[in-house]
Amino acid sequence: MSRERLYLYDTTLRDGQQTQGVQFSVAEKIALAEALDAIGIDYIEGGWPGANPTDSEFFAVRPETEAVFTAFGMTKRAGRSAANDEVLAGVMNAGTPAVCLVGKSHDYHVTAALGITLEENLENIRASIAHVVASGREALFDAEHFFDGFKANRAYALESVQAAYVAGARWVVLCDTNGGTLPHEVAEAVAAVIATGVPGDHLGIHCHDDTGQAVAASLAAVMAGARQIQGTLNGLGERCGNANLTSLIPTLLLKEPFASRFETAISREALAGLTQLSRKLDDILNRVPLRSAPYVGASAFAHKAGLHASAILKDPTTYEHVEPSLVGNARLIPMSNQAGQSNLRARLVGMGIEVEPKDPRLAAILDEIKRREDHGYAYDGAQASFELVARRELGLLPAFFEVERYRVTVERKRDARGRIGSLSEAVVVVNIGGQRTLSVSEGIVEDGSDGGPVNALSKALAKDLGPYQHFIDDMKLVDFRVRITQGGTEAVTRVIIDSEDGKGQRWSTVGVSPNIVDASFEALLDSITWKLLRDGAAPV
Amino acid sequence: MSRERLYLYDTTLRDGQQTQGVQFSVAEKIALAEALDAIGIDYIEGGWPGANPTDSEFFAVRPETEAVFTAFGMTKRAGRSAANDEVLAGVMNAGTPAVCLVGKSHDYHVTAALGITLEENLENIRASIAHVVASGREALFDAEHFFDGFKANRAYALESVQAAYVAGARWVVLCDTNGGTLPHEVAEAVAAVIATGVPGDHLGIHCHDDTGQAVAASLAAVMAGARQIQGTLNGLGERCGNANLTSLIPTLLLKEPFASRFETAISREALAGLTQLSRKLDDILNRVPLRSAPYVGASAFAHKAGLHASAILKDPTTYEHVEPSLVGNARLIPMSNQAGQSNLRARLVGMGIEVEPKDPRLAAILDEIKRREDHGYAYDGAQASFELVARRELGLLPAFFEVERYRVTVERKRDARGRIGSLSEAVVVVNIGGQRTLSVSEGIVEDGSDGGPVNALSKALAKDLGPYQHFIDDMKLVDFRVRITQGGTEAVTRVIIDSEDGKGQRWSTVGVSPNIVDASFEALLDSITWKLLRDGAAPV
């Protein structure tokens, strides 16, 4: 049986940016657009060209994509032609193959917010969509407040989407702008729109999660006939967020009746990259990934030992609604389990270390990692530190040097001319094979300002490592991420440092402590140790 | 028209404890039970008496509640009578007015996991429920894996719930143990159970969020006839969590068709305590509250889009699906570079400051914000710092005090017994109306370990603010977020601090500097200044 085509429209880069605290840079938008394209999203809405410098620049340099690249804007204002509306012109000038224009479909918003007549609004919709179509682009119409409008003045709401469709819109998208519409109401309204003659394969749905039902409402719309879903990665978006594509995609591909009835552009292979894609976005936003996220959360397939423990050991799949690897996630089960050890062995091989199956040191490494994770460490993004933990347990980590003590001072005060400023200073005492070295550095950065205690500490540490010095001369810190997290019952600081060397080699290390300077110091030490190890430095 | 009664069953203290990393103490269980009772939950499931020492102790000292206090356990094992099953005896001995027993309804689990015959399992259900009823308690039956069982062997799944109902169960609860059942499937199964003769007002629903639809599936069950909903506060629970009562309750009380058709034991006054209840649980778990949580999240009523801001000023309700105060939440109109003067005026009104449209100071504030954003500041997650910038431009910010200088030291070394450890110390000199105060603090946290330089600085600063001291005594830091970002051409550190006071007031401030200690200090200063301003402290 041939399956119907279902289209996925991502608005992470536009509506997702409405999230409090989210502001993508051009480079971040490019990285996300490429990742969305790779997974098989049909439409990528990049932003609103002309609305702000970042979006304008992004559209100027946007990557080539398989996905239909879409510029967002609004329907023309009243009292001018579509061609003479400079806001619309800004959107058109981005030259994208598709243009999505938002317009009003709720009568109250037309008269109260826009202050124009209902007929003027319909004319703005018609003229704007026709203008996009005439330019040879694919036109989409986002019907703002459609569902509230449908309740308040059903005839007008239906008329507005009809107007867009008749004017040539490839897609008319019903938007639950305030997010309060329940799934059964969405289904009813979708059916009503289809009854007016807008075919389901020209109808999209755009939900928000204000009652925690954006995913369910989007699926209800599909079951009622809509064939495009708009959403965002990780449910990013204003207020409670948009419909979460990261939850929707696996349900559409793996669950009935969707899996048999519909096809998307997302392959099974791409689906297995979903967890990684979700983490990538969190990484860009420096957010802690939500452990409980459906499908992609770290806890989504975690079985807590208890009532079910023995049954889970017999057959874990009876306690899972889907197989975790299908979405690139992993089962989390008690550490003694066989699967944990074989994963570990594979990872060790990647570091050039062969360990026999059932070697008791495998369990010891897993226990140590578990103990550290309970204290707030995270090794997903810190491969180099993971390798050091494993090598320590295996007796394969040489002692290159020891830091006997350090002291860091930050002082902020007025200088002789009365200007306030700060200065950081670090003293480090290192012992290399019995030889003590005392180094001191200020945390002054390139432009002469104070770079802070971690900068000072990093410089003091790298100042004189005696026989190892030439191994670390080409090392530099390229990124530094800080998160407050749980370590047992206390809040601790987790620092992840990315380092790079002259050969372009890049590695990440982690440190954890209630004290941010200590946590940074631990990650710095790991970074240097890993570099000495990797470059074959001989311990003194 | 008389409304049907809908019952709410909370399992935060039992199933909620299956969350990774969650382990309530007896005192925490008591505090939560009292809070759940105060809001008007019908049933509170306290745990499994006999399964672990905490649960046993909790049932021994549990508070008196209006809610029906419920002990959880499992149906008797095969090969012994209900009276002679010591696990069931442990549950019964807790002496609660209600007992909820979980049992199998999926044939595969009966034969594979329990290793007994299908008929033995039915007999275990019947005998166990009858035993509870004979003891004069209210009996509930949790039908584990009901929906998977319904797909695999519909007749047997229906027979198992029938058995419990006929044996006298007040409630038969259909559990989607693996969380993979979609809302329309839940509705279909509920209708099938009712068709076998189990009345809807004896039927409950227990969903998990593995596809992000636990709320929708629970509501679908109610629309299909079920009259009890089981869930947890904040959607706590194993894997992706249980159905979130914090999302369900407002929808049931405020949204149609539920509000007109059903009544619960939750009053409008109690509903207005929901946000506080949600935060209380996060507080106990020391978790950062989810900003995007429906109804109760800090962002749930936050408006960012500049496009909507002028309409929001005219009538905020047009961009909100419910009035935030109904659930004890508040509207937030954050700033961002997407915002225009109308957004700004709306935000100022929220601070109690009226500025005429086109007042040139509006442009001056926006310029200053823009300048700061270019240096790495971000204000849409730092409302309080934004208010301070605006007030400074408007000449409405009193000079409460000045910090003349500070010095922070972090020292890591071996103590007399050779153990390595660190100690942070901060000295702060404050000038209040010409009066200089010198304060010193160590960064020692509750468990005696070093909390680091920011902790020491924060304590020294709050140690002696003279005439302002009583305004800041109830202040505490609840979250601290760090991001390395671009400030002009240099990388700078942005620190955002969330503070809270004894009144439950919560505010966020931002600081930016290449030096993380300086950035933190700036955010700390803003936090104290905002608190003094908000509480009406008179400048000296």
Q: How confident is the model at residue A492 (pLDDT cuts 50, 70, 90)?
A: confident
Task: Say whether B518 and A180 touch across the interface (CB within 8 A).
Answer: no
B215 touches chain A (CB under 8 A): yes
Hey, of A11, A13, A17, A20, which one would you mutate to test binding to chain B, going by the most B CBs within 10 A of its CB?
Answer: A20
Contacts of B111 (CB under 8 A, 6+ apart): B117, B118
Of B393, B414, B437, the last residue of a domain is: B393
Task: Say whether B407 and A412 touch across the interface (CB within 8 A).
Answer: yes
DSSP A62: P
Whether residues B32 and B178 share a domain: the answer is yes
Percent of chain A surpassing pLDDT 90: 70
Taking CA–CA distances from A447, the nearest residue in chain B reads: B490
Q: How confident is the model at residue A337 (pLDDT cuts 50, 70, 90)?
A: very low
Contacts of B370 (CB under 8 A, 6+ apart): B337
CATH number of the domain within which A149 lies: 3.20.20.70
Whether residues B372 and B460 share a domain: the answer is no
Residue numbers in A near B314 (CB within 8 A): 112-113
pLDDT at residue A336 is higher than 50: no
Tokens of B98: 């209600």
pLDDT at residue A318 is higher than 90: no
pLDDT at residue A306 is higher than 80: no
Q: What average pLDDT does the segment A437-445 reach?
A: 91
Q: What average pLDDT does the segment A449-478 reach?
A: 90
Q: How confident is the model at residue A494 (pLDDT cuts 50, 70, 90)?
A: confident
Task: Say whether A295 and B210 touch across the interface (CB within 8 A).
Answer: yes
pLDDT at residue A379 is higher than 70: yes
CATH number of the domain within which A445 lies: 3.30.160.270
Residue A305 lies in a domain: no
Q: Write down the pLDDT at residue A335.
A: 44
Measured CA to CA, the distance from residue A509 to residue B402 in angstroms comes to: 39
Which ranges in B40-117 belong to alpha helices (H)? Answer: 53-61, 86-92, 107-108
Whether residues B125 and B246 share a domain: the answer is yes
DSSP string over A108-124: HIIIIII-S-HHHHHHH
Whether residues B343 and B441 share a domain: the answer is no
Whether residues B433 and B329 share a domain: the answer is no
Is the peptide bond between B257 and the residue preceding it cis, with omega within 30 degrees of 0?
yes
Residue A72 lies in a domain: yes
Q: How confident is the model at residue A420 (pLDDT cuts 50, 70, 90)?
A: confident
Residue numbers in A near B109 (CB within 8 A): 311, 318
Neighbours of B100 (CB within 10 A): 29
pLDDT at residue A396 is higher than 70: yes
Of A235, A266, A297, the last residue of a domain is: A266
Residue A328 lies in a domain: no
Q: What average pLDDT does the segment A240-249 reach?
A: 98
Measured CA to CA, the distance from residue B186 to residue A216 in angstroms comes to: 13
A12-31 per-position pLDDT tens digit:
999 999 888 788 989 999 99
Q: Which residues, numbered 256 to 285 in chain A, qualify as contacts with chain B under a Cβ-Cβ cut-off of 8 Å?
A: none
Task: Say whether B515 and A451 touch across the interface (CB within 8 A).
Answer: yes
Residue B515 lies in a domain: no
Whether residues B326 and B230 share a domain: the answer is no
Taking CA–CA distances from B508, the nearest residue in chain A reads: A21
Residue numbers in B near A318 (CB within 8 A): 108-109, 112-113
The number of folded domains in chain A is: 2
Q: Which residues, numbered 314 to 333 in chain B, qualify as contacts with chain A under a Cβ-Cβ cut-off of 8 Å?
A: 314-315, 318-322, 332
Measured CA to CA, the distance from residue B387 to residue B526 in angstroms comes to: 10
Q: Which residues of chain B have pLDDT under 50?
A: 336-338
Whether residues B10 and B134 share a domain: the answer is yes
Contacts of B102 (CB under 8 A, 6+ apart): A307, B72, B73, B74, B75, B141, B142, B144, B175
Q: Half-sphere exposure of A9 toward its Cβ, with a 13 Å CA cutoff?
A: 28
Taking CA–CA distances from B430, the nearest residue in chain A reads: A413
pLDDT at residue A377 is higher than 70: yes
pLDDT at residue A305 is higher than 60: no
Whether residues B384 and B406 share a domain: the answer is no
Q: How confident is the model at residue A11 (pLDDT cuts 50, 70, 90)?
A: very high
Residue numbers in B near A274 (CB within 8 A): none
Q: Write down the pLDDT at residue A340.
A: 65
Considering CB atoms only, which of B247, B320, B406 is closest to A212? B247
A294 touches chain B (CB under 8 A): yes
Considering CB atoms only, which of B109, B294, B409 is closest to A409? B409
Residue A439 lies in a domain: yes
Residue B516 lies in a domain: no
Whether residues B62 and B210 share a domain: the answer is yes
B476 touches chain A (CB under 8 A): no
Instruction: Print the domain residue range for B365.
Output: 306-393
Whether residues B27 and B149 share a domain: the answer is yes
CA A451 to chain B, closest CA, distance in angstroms equals 5
Nearest Cα to Cα of residue A454 among B127, B388, B493: B493
Residue B194 lies in a domain: yes
Of B393, B413, B439, the last residue of a domain is: B393
Task: Say whether B211 and A247 touch across the interface (CB within 8 A).
Answer: yes
Whether residues B386 and B407 share a domain: the answer is no
Q: Which residues, numbered 55 to 114 in chain A, qualify as contacts with chain B under a Cβ-Cβ cut-off of 8 Å?
A: 74, 108-109, 112-113
Which ranges in B22-69 belong to alpha helices (H)? Answer: 26-39, 53-61
Measured CA to CA, the distance from residue A144 to residue A138 in angstroms comes to: 19
Whether residues B218 and B174 share a domain: the answer is yes
Residue B139 lies in a domain: yes
Measured CA to CA, the distance from residue B340 to residue A524 in angstroms comes to: 43
Tokens of B321: 């699906």
How much is the pTM? Answer: 0.78
Residue numbers in B near A456 (CB within 8 A): none
Q: Write down the pLDDT at residue A325.
A: 94
Burial pattern B52-73, b for ≥16 Cβ within 10 A else e, equals: eebbbebbeebeebebbbbbbb
Task: Say whether B239 and A302 touch across the interface (CB within 8 A).
Answer: yes
Considering CB atoms only, which of A294, A319, A406 is closest to B209? A294
Q: How confident is the model at residue A339 (pLDDT cuts 50, 70, 90)?
A: low
Contacts of B156 (CB under 8 A, 6+ apart): B105, B107, B118, B149
Q: How confident is the model at residue A326 (pLDDT cuts 50, 70, 90)?
A: very high
